[in-house]
């Protein structure tokens, strides 16, 4: 992965997490490693634990899905579920009534602006 893509991803993750916090969600962890890979963010929304996949694109760089949130297809969904199971097996999560999987898409434009789209229970 190129330095520019890594930097874009870090910027998107930061913007996504700030967006979630402004909406009242509590960030429990970011960039959590499991033996299967990395979970972008784990958040608490009231009494619901959410595993969040964050997708970031730069304006003009979109190839394929129109919005970054549409880039989380069945294969990626299965991987995120596997990551969540591994994380839950390795960690003591807070008490919660439900678990869900969210997607946050971040579109960065050439002026430094961003559009953040949060889809709770995306899959």
What is the per-residue pLDDT across 30-67, written as a single tens digit (0 to 9) for each? 999 999 999 999 999 999 999 999 999 887 654 555 56
pLDDT of residue 109: 87
Tokens of 87: 């994380």
Q: What is the dihedral of CA 71, 75, 80, 81, to 10 degrees?
A: 140
pLDDT of residue 79: 96
Q: Which residue has the tokens 């595993």?
A: 51
Phi-psi region of 21 (alpha: psi -120 to 50; beta: other; left: phi over 0): alpha
CA distances (Å), origin 112, targets 7, 15, 115? 13, 12, 10
117 SS3 class: strand
Alpha-carbon 31 to chain mean position: 9
In this prediction the pTM is 0.89
What is the per-residue pLDDT across 67-91, written as a single tens digit (0 to 9) for each? 667 789 999 999 999 999 999 999 9
What is the phi/psi pair of residue 119, to 5°?
-115, 95
Domains and CATH numbers, the chain: 3-119 (3.40.1350.10)
What letter would DSSP give residue 60?
A: T
C-alpha–C-alpha distance, residues 6 and 9, integer Å: 5
């Amino acid at each position: 992965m190129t330095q520019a893509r890594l930097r874009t991803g870090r910027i998107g993750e930061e913007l996504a997490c700030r967006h979630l916090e402004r909406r009242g969600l509590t960030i429990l962890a970011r960039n959590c490693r499991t033996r299967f890979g990395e979970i972008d963010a784990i958040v608490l929304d009231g009494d619901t634990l959410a595993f969040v996949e964050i997708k970031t694109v730069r304006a003009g760089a979109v190839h394929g899905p129109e919005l970054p949130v549409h880039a989380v297809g069945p294969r990626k969904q299965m991987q995120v579920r596997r990551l969540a199971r591994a994380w839950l097996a390795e960690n003591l999560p807070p008490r919660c009534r439900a678990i869900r999987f969210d997607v946050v898409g971040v579109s960065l434009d050439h002026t430094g602006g961003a559009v953040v789209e949060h889809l709770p229970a995306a899959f």
